[in-house]
Amino acid sequence: MPTLPQQPPAQPAGPHMVVCGDDALAHRLAAELKDVYGERVTVVIPATPSAWEPRSAGTAAPGAGRGRARAAALFGRMTAAVGRPTLARRRR
């Protein structure tokens, strides 16, 4: 078994926020954390139930193409949310 060349130590990515979900609240929260508070955000989207179903070799899972479509839709919504100007907050 070949060995890998010595790797430089990985630089820590630093703190960031993690948002889990694939609904409007999760998308809005991620966009607000990024735009308003300047946080680095990672969005975790749950797998579709069909991704966990066992299948025989050589056959695609039912709905296998939906994952790519859902990811593209999320990317489109996040891009739209990030490009939207934020409202100025009023002080009381």
| Structural domain count of the chain | 1
Enter the pTM of the model. Answer: 0.42
Distance CA 27, CA 32 (A): 9
User: 72: domain range?
Assistant: 15-47+66-82
Is 77 domain-assigned?
yes
What is each CA distance from 40 to 33, 35, 92, in whole angstroms? 8, 10, 29
> Is residue 19 one of the residues assigned to a domain?
yes
Tens of each residue's pLDDT in the chain, 92 residues: 566 667 666 666 678 889 998 888 988 999 999 998 888 888 888 876 665 566 555 555 555 566 777 777 777 777 766 666 666 555 55
Flag whether 1 is in a domain.
no
| In a domain? residue 32 | yes
Those residues with Cβ within 8 angstroms of residue 15's Cβ, 6 or more apart along the chain or in another chain = 40
